[in-house]
A and B are shown apart, each in its own frame.
Chain A
Amino acid sequence: DGGITQSPKYLFRKEGQNVTLSCEQNLNHDAMYWYRQDPGQGLRLIYYSQIVNDFQKGDIAEGYSVSREKKESFPLTVTSAQKNPTAFYLCASSIGWGNNQPQHFGDGTRLSIL
C-alpha cells in the first residue's frame, strides 16, 4: 500500500542524546515536511524539503536537523540543543509542483524525555 511510514511510534531520549526519527514515503511525492504538535498549539513546521539534497528551515528549526539523500526518505534528528523535545512529531508529504497540493501525514512519533 502507498503511504508514509514513520518509526518508531514511541521514542525516549536521555539528556544530552541525539535521536533520529525516520520518515519514508512510497507515494513518489516531491515535497516532504516535519511538524511538531504540542497540546493546544496546533502543528508547527520544523523543516521541509522540495527536492533531493535540498531542505529549508521552517518556523521552529532550532535544535533540529534533517537530510534528504533520497526522494523517499526525510529523517529528522532531534539534537541535544533542543531543550524541550517532548512532543508528537508528524511527517507529511505532498505531490508535484505548486503549492495548492494538500499534505498527507504519517502516523507520527511520540518523543519523551527519560
Chain B
Amino acid sequence: QKEVEQNSGPLSVPEGAIASLNCTYSDRGSQSFFWYRQYSGKSPELIMSIYSNGDKEDGRFTAQLNKASQYVSLLIRDSQPSDSATYLCAVNKGPNTGTASKLTFGTGTRLQVTL
C-alpha cells in the first residue's frame, strides 16, 4: 500500500461544476495535510493546508479532513478552465521535532475542466 494514494485521473468536470479530489494516507499518526496545484511543466503551488478534522474553506476551495478514515479531500466549486492542472496531496507524518517538514506526496490527480 502506498503511503499517500490518489486516483491519477484524469477527472473531467464541466465548467461551473464542483470538482472533488480525494486522497488517502496510510500512517494514522499523520499530523498535517497539504494540497498543491501543479500546472503542466511548472512547479507545485500550495493552495490549502489542513491540520484538524472537518472542513476548511478558502475562496472556491474547501479542504476536508477525516483522520478516523484517513482521507483528505479537496473540493473546487465553480470550476474554471484555469483550474485544469494536477493536484498533489502531501502528508506530514511527524513527529513534531526539528525544523524540517518532511512531506510524502501522492502522485497527483489530473483535473480537466471542460467548456
In the complex, how many angstroms separate the beta carbon of B30 from the nearest chain A beta carbon?
Answer: 11
Interface size on A, residues (CB 8 A): 28
User: Are A42's CB and B107's CB within 8 A?
Assistant: yes
In the complex, how many angstroms separate the beta carbon of A92 from the nearest chain B beta carbon?
Answer: 8
Interface of B, secondary structure class, is loop
Query: A75 at interface (Cβ–Cβ under 8 A)?
Result: no
List the one stretch of A14-22, A79-87, A96-104 in contact with chain B.
Answer: A96-104
User: Are A103's CB and B101's CB within 8 A?
Assistant: yes
Query: B1 at interface (Cβ–Cβ under 8 A)?
Result: no
Q: How many Å lie between the Cα of A106 and that of B43 in the bound state?
A: 7
Q: Which of B45, B92, B106 contacts A105 (CB 8 A)?
A: B45
Query: A45 at interface (Cβ–Cβ under 8 A)?
Result: yes
Contact mask A51-66 → B, CB, 8 Å, 1/0? Answer: 1000010000000000
Q: Which of B42, B96, B100, B106 contacts A31 (CB 8 A)?
A: B100
Residues of B in contact with A (beta carbons under 8 Å apart): 8, 31-32, 34, 42-46, 49, 51, 88, 90, 92, 94-103, 105-108
Pairs across A and B, CB under 8 Å, 6 listed: A31-B98, A48-B100, A50-B100, A100-B92, A102-B101, A108-B43
